Amino acid sequence: MTLHHRLDGPAGAPLLVLGPSLGTDLGLWDPQMPELGSRWRVLRYDLPGHGGSPPPDGPFTIDDLADEVAGLLDQVGADRAAYAGVSIGGAVGTALALRAPGRVAGLVLCCTSPRFGPPEAWRERAALVRREGTAPLAKTAAERWFTPGFDGAARYVEMVRATGPEGYAACCEALARFDATGRLAEITAPTLVIAGAEDVPTPPAGHGAVLADGIPGAELVVVDGAGHLANAERPADVTRAITGHLDRTWKGLPG
């Protein structure tokens, strides 16, 4: 498996890895880059079959993706890094913190969950995408991801359209198998959980709050007026929460 990735920010600054959501590419984090990229060395990656990453050559798990991210750390010569991820990107961060705890200096889990609902729904979505591509999901992406008043959805919807069907489907199947609920107490990285108050796919009560309650010492921040892609819809609020957490746990260059 090869994950397309990109490095930005000052050489020598502490490394921060940013993980995308299902159906998006590394551009999902563009709203945060002016601030994060000025103080941290930022590594962003694309999921298999998303953005610049080739389609997968077979099934994979969230743990496999976490191992691939650990491999990216090796490639850039980083023993440790902070990690922030949205949705499936957050699941990858959870898995990385469990599989390689010594490598995760700080963790930000945004609009994500330790378990993303019944596996059957994900397998049905995978089958739909293999039959019809991602176009049917692009039609409903804006209402799944954002509140009704958000007028910046178009660029993110186009990310869905551009995603390869096999990569998207394989990610769905990985999410169907993912359940870290019983292991949250093992996470040792200082953790911030960010939830969108109006997130439909992973509402705070059944998802973000479960992470915050289960991970020792975790803090929960609920962002008002935000749906599932809170970092895109309320960029200033999410950026402020992330930088505040990292300043306490993985301090970057002076702002």
Q: Where are the beta strands (DSSP E) in the chain?
A: 5-8, 15-19, 41-45, 81-86, 104-110, 191-196, 219-223
**Rounded Cα gap, residues 22 and 34, in angstroms:** 23
Structural domains in the chain?
5-249 (3.40.50.1820)
**Residues pairing with 86 in the sheet:** 110
Convert the pLDDT of each residue in 97-139 to its tens digit: 999 999 999 999 999 999 999 999 999 999 999 999 999 999 9
Convert the pLDDT of each residue in 151-193 to its tens digit: 999 999 999 999 999 999 999 999 999 999 999 999 999 999 9
DSSP for 43-54, please give it.
EEE--TTSTTSP
pLDDT at 255: 75
Q: What is the pTM of this model?
A: 0.98
Tell me the three state secondary structure of residue 199.
coil
Q: What is the CA radius of gyration of the chain?
A: 16
